[in-house]
């Protein structure tokens, strides 16, 4: 895998939740990088979200590092949690980093205070391992209920030279599009204007991480952070469009992996809404279907139950005339003009509903807005994982 130039990685085993696995990750840019971030819209914002937003606002062009821990979310921990988050950044002074140039992120159980004694024990390992581990290692260190590390990379040719982008993320549960329900990190060795980088990241997030759902829950810790350090070549003018397309592809690749790895999930549902009166209506319709426990369990059971789909549409709040709606499953029209299309759908769709990805196309007939949302099915395993999450 082609890794962007000028970045080094490190991990440490701290035992935040359980011993024997790396649960602290560090990414260091050799030069100050342009930084961008999008953060959860949950009103209960975790301490690392509050601290990262503050640091990013103060120094969008001077960020050197990302530090991420799993096992403890440091959310709903009050001023003590904020103070401890800042203290973890002070500890990284042992690696020559200043708190004002580090963006923190955390994931894990909500409500627990950070175990500072374990942080203090872990920092020497971060220092010793810096540059000795790779992108896959840091992607593993941020996992919680994920079953595989999620990584994507691109190499693109600009007029000024070749640049590389790489991203990693974690997320399998507590996933619902309302910013970027998960932790995501993008690294790039192009030189960019920080304001453009922030705007480009927001646009890409809206078309990727903001268009996925597993269970309808938006986390307290969501963030996507992106660094561009300029180690390879500057990007400006027409090159920016090429660079943003590569950024979008990485975000979409990672977003798909999150739904693919949904807690207990067995398949991905691609909800394609077209003909909506507005983008807001397209979102309402897609999310109503993608978040419906009845639709999701039908997908798991390979049941072509169109009634659950149209019922979700009907309560979505989107504006449309019922008689104008058309619903297709795996490309076959199953509902139109307010009534089902008569056929032996159990037989006709049996093979399609066994696929890893199933398309549900919905035409609302009310306008020109369209949206694609990725969602997972619901299984018994999802309940088991979340019933036992703290134990």
The catalytic residue positions are 181
- In this structure, the strands spanning 63-72 and 24-39 are antiparallel
The answer to whether 212 and 375 are in contact (CB under 8 A) is yes
- Burial letters 44-81, b for 16+ CB under 10 A, else e: ebbbbbbbbeebbeebbebbbbbbbbbbbbbbebeeeb
Residue from 15, 14, 17 nearest 390 by CA: 17
Exposed, middle or buried, 254 (CB in 10 Å: 0-12/13-18/19+)?
Answer: buried
Residue from 287, 224, 283 nearest 53 by CA: 224
- In this structure, the strands spanning 183-191 and 161-170 are antiparallel
Q: Is 186 left (phi over 0), alpha (psi -120 to 50) or beta?
A: beta
Q: Cα–Cα distance between 52 and 103 in angstroms, integer?
A: 5
* Residue 184, CB-side half-sphere exposure with 13 Å CA sphere: 37
Q: What are the beta bridge partners of residue 150?
A: 169
Instruction: Give the CA angle between residues 117, 47, 102 to the nearest 5°.
Output: 75
Instruction: Give the CA angle between residues 216, 170, 119 to the nearest 5°.
Output: 120
Other CB atoms closer than 10 Å to residue 347's CB: what's the count? Answer: 9
């Amino acid at each position: 895998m082609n890794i962007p130039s000028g970045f080094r990685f490190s991990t440490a085993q701290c035992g935040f939740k359980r011993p024997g696995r790396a649960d602290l990750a560090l990414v260091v840019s050799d030069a100050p990088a342009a930084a961008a971030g999008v953060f959860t819209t949950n009103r209960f914002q975790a301490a690392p979200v509050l601290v990262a937003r503050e640091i990013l606002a103060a120094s969008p062009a001077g960020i050197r590092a990302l530090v991420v821990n799993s096992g403890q979310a440091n959310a709903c921990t009050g001023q003590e949690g904020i103070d401890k988050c800042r203290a973890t950044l002070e500890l990284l002074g042992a690696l020559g980093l200043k708190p004002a140039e580090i963006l923190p992120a955390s994931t894990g159980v909500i409500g627990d205070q950070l175990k500072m004694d374990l942080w203090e024990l872990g920092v020497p390992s971060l220092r010793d391992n810096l540059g000795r581990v790779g992108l896959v290692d840091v992607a593993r260190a941020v996992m919680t209920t994920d079953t595989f590390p999620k990584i994507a990379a691109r190499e693109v040719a600009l007029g000024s030279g070749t640049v590389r982008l790489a991203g990693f993320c974690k997320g399998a549960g507590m996933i619902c599009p309302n910013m970027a329900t998960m932790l995501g990190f993008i690294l790039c060795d192009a030189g960019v204007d920080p304001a453009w980088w922030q705007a480009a990241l927001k646009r890409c997030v809206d078309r990727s991480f903001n268009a996925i759902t597993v269970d309808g829950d938006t986390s307290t810790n969501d963030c996507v952070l992106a660094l561009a350090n300029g180690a390879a070549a500057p990007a400006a003018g027409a090159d920016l469009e090429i660079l943003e397309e590569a950024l979008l592809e990485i975000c979409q690749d990672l977003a798909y992996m999150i739904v693919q790895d949904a807690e207990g999930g067995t398949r991905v549902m691609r909800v394609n809404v077209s003909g909506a009166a507005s983008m807001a209506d397209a979102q309402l319709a897609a999310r109503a279907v993608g978040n419906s426990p009845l639709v999701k369990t039908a997908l798991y059971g390979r049941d072509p139950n169109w009634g659950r789909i149209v019922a979700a549409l009907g309560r979505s709040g989107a504006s449309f005339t019922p008689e104008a709606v058309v619903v297709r499953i795996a490309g076959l029209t199953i509902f139109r003009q307010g009534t089902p299309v008569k056929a032996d759908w159990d037989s006709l769709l049996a093979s399609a509903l066994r696929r890893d990805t199933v398309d549900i196309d919905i035409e609302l007939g009310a306008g020109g807005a369209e949206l694609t949302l990725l969602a997972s099915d619901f299984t018994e395993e999802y309940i088991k994982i979340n019933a036992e999450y703290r134990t």
